[in-house]
Amino acid sequence: AQSVSQHNHHVILSEAASLELGCNYSYGGTVNLFWYVQYPGQHLQLLLKYFSGDPLVKGIKGFEAEFIKSKFSFNLRKPSVQWSDTAEYFCAVNRGGGATNKLIFGTGTLLAVQP
């Protein structure tokens, strides 16, 4: 069965620090990869996604992620975080061309950015 692992459950950073959140998945076939974010009191929203082409994907708010197929990884990065990036971040995967397109989520990483 597919699974998604997020290595960091809680991350605390100071403003302007660089961010990298790890995500690994287990599935040998074609996958689509997503990062969702949930700001305090808000609903889940898409940060970025990868389904083909350039493995370095740029999303909203200065976030980017790199798909490394050989490592089954899709790590999220931001060179300089802001206080407003405080949120919970979820990595998710679904099968490319799958019948139901259901997303398999990781357990999430709670990021706190200190001003």
Partner 1 sequence: GAGVSQSPRYKVAKRGQDVALRCDPISGHVSLFWYQQALGQGPEFLTYFQNEAQLDKSGLPSDRFFAERPEGSVSTLKIQRTQQEDSAVYLCASSREPQSVETQYFGPGTRLLVL
The contact set with partner 1 (CB under 8 A) reads 4, 32, 34, 36, 42-46, 49, 51, 90, 92, 94-108
Nearer to partner 1, 17 or 27 (CB): 27
| Closest of 58, 74, 63 to residue 25, by C-alpha | 74
CB of 44 to partner 1, least distance (A): 4
Nearer to partner 1, 97 or 115 (CB): 97
> What's the CA gap between 113 and 9, in Å, rounded?
14
CB of 105 to partner 1, least distance (A): 3
CB of 110 to partner 1, least distance (A): 9
Q: Torsions phi, psi of 48, nearest 5? A: -165, 165
Nearer to partner 1, 81 or 109 (CB): 109
> What's the CA gap between 109 and 111, in Å, rounded?
6
According to DSSP, the residues that pair with 111 across neighbouring strands are 11, 87
- Looking at residue 54, what DSSP letter applies? -
